[in-house]
Amino acid sequence: MASDLSNLFPARFNSFLWIKKISPGAWFSSFYFLALLPWLGKNRLLGLDESFYANVAKAEVRDHHWLPLYFLGRPYWEKPPLLHWLHGLSLGLGGPPEASLRIWSALAGAWSLYFIYRLASQLAGGPSGGVACALLLGLQKHFILYSRLATMDMALLCCLLGSWWKISQALDSPHSQAGHPLLRAGLWLAAGILVKAWFGLVLLPAAGIVLYYRKPWPFSKRQLFALFFLPGLTALLGWLAAYASLFGKSFWDWEWNHNVSGRFFSGGWSSPENTRYHLDFYADLTRQGFAYLWPLLPLGLFSWVRAVWEDSRRKRFDPLKIIGVFFFFYYLFFILWGMATLINYLLPLSGAAAVGLGFLFRSQGKNQDHWAAVSAFLLAMLNGLTDNRWASLIFPLSFAPCLFPLNHFLPGLKPFWFRAGAVTLMVTASYGALDYWRHPPDPNHAWVATVLAHPARYPGEPLIFVGENTDARALEFYCDYRIQAVDDLPRQRPNEAILFGHEKEAVFFPALR
């Protein structure tokens, strides 16, 4: 009997050994997703693109407008349908509407952190650096915000990171094993196109650079086209052909005049005033949304470029490094600066920046590198804890650590101080994100509560809303009113109902009878 028991327990224990094979990145991303779930429905829809896409999903479920899509009674062709269909499916299953719509962004955010872990682990030389980079990015306010917004942006970041990771794997695989990661890279590319149209292609220039320099390939040209380029090309042509057949010339006019040329002609290169506005806008956004991250970026990028330069001198071309550094600078100057200023454009750049921080966690770093990293950690903690009050001073100081690796006369610094600085930075970043995590911004709470307390007498009843048009779209998701946004209260009382904000409270005047 005793021998039977002794044989039984090891057998049961061995059945759980698969748990040990799960990577730290998978554990971390799973925990991140589960931690997001209780808070997805805590705040009402925000007046960003979230309110726009929510009304498209509402039309799918209520009016069965699955293809073509509709927005407030008008045909909608601004984005491919993939994520809109997912929003409609989850919304139709019931539950809190905000959580139902945001579940896909939460999943994409968790998956993005998994890819950050895999990419940064390769650059850092170990899993601890990968976990640190994923954790640091996941605790930034801007990343948390878009992990629980029903928009396309976190899904796009996930697709870009997935394609980046898989094509790097394919180029570093033996000949017989390169096909599978190459196909997955192509499928992630296709998914990015079906999520956010042309923006799914922004990784291709970086991929082209590495394909040019990294030879011989472990796959043939035919495999490269069939497995990597063909899925994306099929997705792109399928989306364009479907929308052209549904909407005709109107779709092409909007696609070219607004979505392509319109964005560039209103971008930062259009005039000195626009350039100045772009720089101020993104600087303020970075300070507010990445307080614990941006003081590390100059050193991270310096280390990244230095590593690529050293590899090129030795005639080595690491696809992971080349894709990352080229994508960062290409996106920075071409997309972030060249196109119309939008808050969500910064998100893909933050993923590449977090991966670049993996160089700070290299176990084989020299004393000078440790001094530089610890100094950058201190600046990041100072900036986050002071809530950006000293940002104008910290910004120029954040470039100083880049000079430390060039100084060979610095005294030795024990690895303990580097590890202590990294852990302290993670703890302080967690503290800074805790309140934002539990209390997400909810500017439309009072308006939504008021409009729900005074339902429309009939679908389409007019309501004048004194506020932003984006907030009016959010209100239309919750009610049957046809809302018209205006800047100021009308001088004379109109026949329609009026809803406006006063001292952060919503005031409702019913329609005149």
Which residues make Cβ contacts (< 8 Å) with residue 391, sequence separation at least 6?
A: 287, 383
Locus of tokens 């998701």: 477
What tokens does 441 get?
Answer: 């911004």
pLDDT tens for 323-380 read 998 899 888 888 888 888 888 888 998 999 999 999 888 755 567 788 899 999 999 9
C-alpha to C-alpha distance for 49 and 151, rounded to whole angstroms = 6
Check if the beta carbon of residue 40 is closer than 8 Å to that of residue 99: yes
Would you state the pLDDT for residue 365?
A: 56
C-alpha to C-alpha distance for 153 and 151, rounded to whole angstroms = 6
Q: Which residues in the chain show pLDDT less than 70?
A: 1-20, 363-366, 408
Check if the beta carbon of residue 451 is closer than 8 Å to that of residue 44: no
What tokens does 353 get?
Answer: 């920046």
C-alpha to C-alpha distance for 246 and 239, rounded to whole angstroms = 11
Would you state the pLDDT for residue 161?
A: 96
Extended beta strands in 40-150, E state: 69-71, 74-76
Would you state the pLDDT for residue 146?
A: 95
Q: How many CB atoms lie within 10 A of CB 208?
A: 12
For the question of whether the overall pTM of this predicted structure is more than 0.95, the answer is no
Would you state the pLDDT for residue 315?
A: 81
C-alpha to C-alpha distance for 498 and 464, rounded to whole angstroms = 5
> What is the separation of C-alpha 495 from the centre of its chain, rounded to a whole number of angstroms?
44
Would you state the pLDDT for residue 1?
A: 45
Beta-strand pair 505-509/497-502: antiparallel
| 499 DSSP β-pair partners | 465, 508
Residue 263: which of 200, 158, 334 has the closest Cα?
Answer: 334
C-alpha to C-alpha distance for 118 and 354, rounded to whole angstroms = 12
